[in-house]
Structure 1
Amino acid sequence: MKKPNLTDRLIKNSKAGTNTIRLRDNSSDPALKGFMLQILPSGLKTFVLSFTSPETSKRRFLKLGTYPAMSLKEGREAARQARILLDNGLDPITHAEQSKLKAITEKEHQKRLGTVEQLFNFYLLDLEMDQKRSAKQVKSIYLRDIGPNIGHIKCCEVSTDHIVDILALIENRGAPTLANRTRSYLRAAFTFGQHCKSSPRWKKNQDLPDFNIRINPVIDTKKATGENRVGNNYLTKEEVKKLWNSIGVDAMSADMALAIKLLISTGQRVEEVLSATWPEFDRQELLWTIPAERRKNREKNKSREPHLVPLTEFHLRLLDEIKQYSGSSRFLFPHHQDASKPRTSDSLSQAVYRFCLPQGKSKRSSFPKFAPRDLRRTWKTLAGSIGIGLEVRNKIQGHASQDIGSIHYDRYDYLKEKRLGIELWIDWLEELVTND
């Protein structure tokens, strides 16, 4: 007599015995071969599949699910799926174990994937190790606009849309220049994340996450339009004269006014002037020696040579005025709250901004907008207009030459030529700012 197929009624009415009971499903469907209900002495009812392993040729039982949590229909479907694996030469029990292990491994891998916050932590550390002055601005931009939006997201999950949303928020605030700067830093950070594992500096770092960045999500974004580029901005000689004779205690703090005058009279970088220390100045030799480690182009300065800036009596008088405000600090322009540190470029930028756009009830007229770094371009432009050659101007300002001869062989300091150039500049500047 043919045994009946499994039915819900049969399963519900089946009782447990003293030993394990197995009720086969006697279906004519070959995909259900070996499908049965197993009843333990405890009364637990489980759908199982009996099969011969194609890998070991041993008889095995695959637990499919417990009844009634798994219905008879679901049990049969699970048996069919297991039979598909068997037909392909796979042991469903081994396959399930491997799938579980793979899922666990993938979960662990996902935990190790770095977030945008971790990316910027390491990127900032990399910038600081290279003594990049941009590190401070990168951190500020991250904290303001990047971190709050995508800091928690895995780097590999960041899309172009995420980046576009951040840039749009900044651009909609009326800050296209900042938007483009943010775009530049984001692109650089994700590029760092792509290649840091192959970098000698980070290759063996055990704390470095796997960022798993396949494609830089910033590449396909576009720059903001309407950017206020200050790269071409410089002051005319009339503006230099007005600026020189306007700044002071009334229009700007005395120390910041003197910092601007030192910038104009030497043509050096903002950071090099603000972080200058008194031991760098030799009054007898009329020489300002900027150490190699304080130079912006220190990575390109293969010889690690300092930058020599000739001085004149005009500069010494400026230094005497500066000394009145620097007190006992080793810095020419010490921080007001901590004299062991120099003033920051932000403080000078704010002073210039307030000078250009008088605040509150001030009756001063406005001044054409400029940034402190524009004074270096001003020097370069006006010095050229009075006949100081480009090579000498480059040497005075400490621009790094990139030709092979300059990098590896030329060790001449050009001090004589630079001194003649500076003296010509000061003669012109002194006449400009003192004559009515």
Structure 2
Amino acid sequence: MTKTGLTDRLIKNAKAGSNTIRFRDNSSDPALKGFMLQILPSGLKTFVLSYTSPESGTRRFIKLGTYPAMSLKEGREAARQSRQILDKGLDPIAYAEQLKLDALTEQEKQNKHGTVEELFKFYLLDLEMDLKRAVKQVKSIYGRDIGPCIGHLKCCEVSSEHIIDIIATIENRGAPTLANRTRAYLRAAFTFGQHCKASPRWKKNKELPDFNISINPVIDTKKAPGENRVANHHLNKEDVRKLWCLIGVAAMSPDMALAIKLLIATGQRVEEVLCAAWAEFDQQELLWTIPAERRKNRGKNKSKEPHLVPLTEFHFHLLDEIKQYSGTSRFLFPHHLDASQPRTSDSLSQAVSRFCSPQGKSKRESFPKFAPRDLRRTWKTLAGSIGIGLEVRNKIQGHAFQDIGSIHYDRYDYLKEKRLGIEQWTHWLEALISQ
């Protein structure tokens, strides 16, 4: 080993020998103690640091870098950094190996972190377990607007900017309501990802990845402006009279017109009417029994009881008309292409939209815009205006009551009170449409 002050010229001109040659840097700087140039017989020149390991007490050499890729100045700086590690009582080689191991471990953890695609997979499963009707819509929105944009990203990589881009794209299509609905589903999905590991349902699920969501990226985003909210919209009694008289073959297909009338006459939900089966109706008992599994609030229906809707002869006259168009299907409103399936709410929404806004060369007057679900609110409002009490209206419409008494103790079906309410409504409706 040769002791000399290392210079760029010396290093450049140094020749390889038959054995390994080392030139120690003869520096007075204690931080460069053991710093040297090593030349292998192959001619490879490497900066190394010789030191005694504080962990094992053995003499060791750590390679700092290869010349000329690493300059002499850079080599000395690398030696100083290794000496700083030694001053802390650590072995630089063992320390570097531990850093590599930690980096690999961290990379493995990141590789195991769930993607947005996996997040929505389990979020949808969670919705299905809770019997949520939104499942179909969430799948559609994810497939169209979310998955193509961020589905491949780890959930921990998603930022508010990603969410804003998605919402802005939908808003720019002229669909602010859908934009805000998408934002709501994204927020709910990321909230699920944050807390699912603590949920009894998912805690022991070994397939559920760690989504590593520290902050919900949707929280700091804003809703799209200009949303067309119709949540408080309902028809007045003159609108109902006019609607009942106008809808029919000329303005709407007969089956969809009858679906509208049945909604008005019963006050039930759109899906409950469109998916109704003939077996649910008992003309002798004047009763419509909606099975528990078909109710919107079936997840909250702890008793799993069906919803009983009392009917009158007025309703069964409507059912007789509906029977003319349902054919042999078990459903009141069978799908046109597959009679084994019921009509969808989209088909009714489209029919109502065309009715309210005549298309093409039609000279028919437009009708005040409404959505099929507004008819349930219309029933609730007008039934109240004629003196039917709120509790009876709620019972007729099958609202889920969440107080302890209703959930666990109250098993009275209120059929008598509901029947009186329905009869009162039917008499009022018959008088209205006869004007």
TM-score (norm 2): 0.95
Name the SS for the 2:370 alignment partner.
coil
1:367 alignment partner in structure 2: 367
CA distance in 1, matches of 2:23, 2:239: 100
The one-letter code sitting in structure 2 at the alignment partner of 1:333 is F
1:322-333 alignment runs, 5 A limit: 322-333=322-333
Q: Give the C-alpha shift of residue 426 in structure 1.
A: 1.1
2:62 alignment partner in structure 1: 62
CA distance in 2, matches of 1:48, 1:392: 89
* 1:50 and 2:50 matched: yes
CA distance in 1, matches of 2:178, 2:397: 27
Between 280-289 and 35-44, report the one with greater CA deviation. 35-44
CA distance in 1, matches of 2:7, 2:338: 85
CA distance in 1, matches of 2:8, 2:404: 88
User: Is this contact kept in 1: 2:274–2:344, CA < 8 A?
Assistant: yes
Percent identity among equivalent residues? 82
Could you report, residue by residue, the CA deviation over 1:196-230 in whole angstroms, capped at 9, with x for unpaired residues? 11122222333322211111122233333433221
2:236 alignment partner in structure 1: 236
CA distance in 1, matches of 2:104, 2:397: 59
CA distance in 1, matches of 2:110, 2:401: 47
CA distance in 2, matches of 1:388, 1:323: 30
2:284 alignment partner in structure 1: 284
* 1:396 and 2:407 matched: no
Q: CA RMSD in A?
A: 1.8
1:146 alignment partner in structure 2: 146
The one-letter code sitting in structure 2 at the alignment partner of 1:82 is S
Q: Give the C-alpha shift of residue 50 in structure 1.
A: 0.7
Name the SS for the 1:164 alignment partner.
helix
The one-letter code sitting in structure 2 at the alignment partner of 1:25 is D
1:258 alignment partner in structure 2: 258
Name the SS for the 2:142 alignment partner.
helix
1:267 alignment partner in structure 2: 267
User: Residues 3 and 61 (structure 1 numbering): CA distance in 2 closer, same or farther, change over 3 Å?
Assistant: closer
CA distance in 2, matches of 1:339, 1:67: 80
CA distance in 1, matches of 2:3, 2:300: 89
User: Is this contact kept in 1: 2:32–2:80, CA < 8 A?
Assistant: yes
Gaps of 5+ in 1: none
CA distance in 2, matches of 1:421, 1:157: 56
CA distance in 1, matches of 2:339, 2:101: 60
Could you report, residue by residue, the CA deviation over 1:229-257 in whole angstroms, capped at 9, with x for unpaired residues? 21111111111111112112221112111
1:291-306 alignment runs, 5 A limit: 291-306=291-306
Could you report, residue by residue, the CA deviation over 1:27-50 in whole angstroms, capped at 9, with x for unpaired residues? 222111111122223332222111
1:352 alignment partner in structure 2: 352
1:428 alignment partner in structure 2: 428
User: Is this contact kept in 1: 2:131–2:299, CA < 8 A?
Assistant: no
Could you report, residue by residue, the CA deviation over 1:351-391 in whole angstroms, capped at 9, with x for unpaired residues? 11111111111111111000111000111111111121111
1:172-321 alignment runs, 5 A limit: 172-321=172-321
CA distance in 2, matches of 1:371, 1:193: 34
Name the SS for the 2:4 alignment partner.
coil
The one-letter code sitting in structure 2 at the alignment partner of 1:153 is L
Could you report, residue by residue, the CA deviation over 1:58-84 in whole angstroms, capped at 9, with x for unpaired residues? 111111122222222222221111111
TM-score (norm 1): 0.95
CA distance in 2, matches of 1:406, 1:237: 33
Task: Say how many residue pairs are matched.
Answer: 434
CA distance in 1, matches of 2:358, 2:3: 100
